[in-house]
Amino acid sequence: MCRVPSGPSGPANSAGSGNGSFQRPRQPERPRQLFSGRSGSSGVAQEGSGHVESTNGVRRLREFFSGDRIPEGFTLISHRSAPNGFKVAIVLSELGYKYDTILLDFANGDQKSPEFLSINPNGRVPALIDHTNPEQSVTLWESGSIILYLVEKKTREEGICPSIWTENLVEQSQIMSWLFFQTSGHSPMIGQALHFKYFHSMSVPSAIQRYTDEVRRVYGVLEVALSEKREALIMELDRENAASYSAGLTPMSQSRYFDTPVWLVGERATIADLCFVTWNYVVDRIGIDLKAEFPEVYKWTKHVMQRPAVMRALKWSGDQ
């Protein structure tokens, strides 16, 4: 016999019905959107942040397949509330690529339409179409794969690595370790916690707790890594201060010890840092306070969010 899981007010959460019948516990009110973007007019493309957005996703896809509209650069297919889609938008913006955005309507099942499934058989966003290939357009899906494709493409086009990537094999492996950690452990756990808290058909407190605990474990890994980078930076600044003092120069402000950004790999922001930020931006929806619980993660997220390319990529969402 299947029983309704116990809610906070008892097994039935029956609100005093008194008849012994089970009622599904009420779910918390759903957030309006994870990224509270402006709604576009149906079928009307809107200019914003260097790309075009449209809510009529299937129609735009049909235009693409029919050849009625010849795109330039890249086409990002996403959803207005998809952190993984914004990850790709951030990297496109960092690399200076021109792109359009097609926003799917999940309520209409756009992500399971034949048009979209021909691009991504998994039926999930994001997907990216590269129209710059001289022979034929390239379709890509899975955000981590898309990001690696973009930085490698930029490297081959310009003959030099963009600053968010590296030619160093050891650093490449470190960056990819963090990227795979984000795509396999960080975003899925936050996504599941959000699902069970806001979108599941019934309240399952144990599932919410299980996934929220796992998110905290993941942030613990990041907090340790960033704290170690902070400690190394402080030691380096101490040496610089000592040298300045010996030379009769004014020592640097103590605030620099804690205001200088630290990064997961090397001494600059890379895709390892960029891939986390959009999910960090929504984690408060599951009751995690980064500033109070994971202060280094919080400072790191703030530094990433202040990057001009990140602000451009998020501007059309209405959150910047």
| DSSP character at residue 76 | E
pLDDT tens for the 320 residues of the chain, in order = 333 333 333 333 333 334 443 344 445 555 545 454 333 322 222 333 444 445 567 777 777 766 666 678 999 999 998 999 999 999 999 999 999 899 998 888 889 988 889 999 999 999 999 999 878 889 999 999 999 999 999 999 999 999 999 999 999 999 999 999 999 999 999 999 999 999 999 999 999 999 999 999 999 999 999 999 999 988 888 777 666 655 555 656 666 667 889 999 999 999 999 999 999 999 999 999 999 999 999 999 999 999 999 999 987 554 44
Q: Identity (one letter) of the amino acid at 250? A: T
Q: By three-state DSSP, how is residue 7 classified? A: strand
pTM: 0.80
Domain ranges of the chain: 46-158, 169-315
User: So what's the pLDDT on residue 22?
Assistant: 37
What is the topology classification, in CATH, of domain 169-315?
A: Glutathione S-transferase Yfyf (Class Pi); Chain A, domain 2 (1.20.1050)
Which superfamily, per CATH, for 46-158? Glutaredoxin (3.40.30.10)
Please report, for the chain, how many H helices and E strands are present, in that order: 12, 6
User: So what's the pLDDT on residue 107?
Assistant: 84
User: So what's the pLDDT on residue 239?
Assistant: 78
Query: Closest by alpha carbon to 158, among 147, 169, 167?
Result: 167
- How many whole angstroms separate alpha carbon 190 and alpha carbon 275? 14
Residues 261, 303: contact at Cβ < 8 Å?
Answer: yes
- How many whole angstroms separate alpha carbon 235 and alpha carbon 32? 45
DSSP string for 227-281: HHHHHHHHHHHHHHHHHHHHTTPPPPPTHHHHHS---SSTTS--HHHHHHHHHHT
Pairing of strands 74-78, 99-103: parallel
Half-sphere exposure of 73 (CA within 13 A, CB side): 16
Intrachain domains 46-158 and 169-315 with the same fold: no
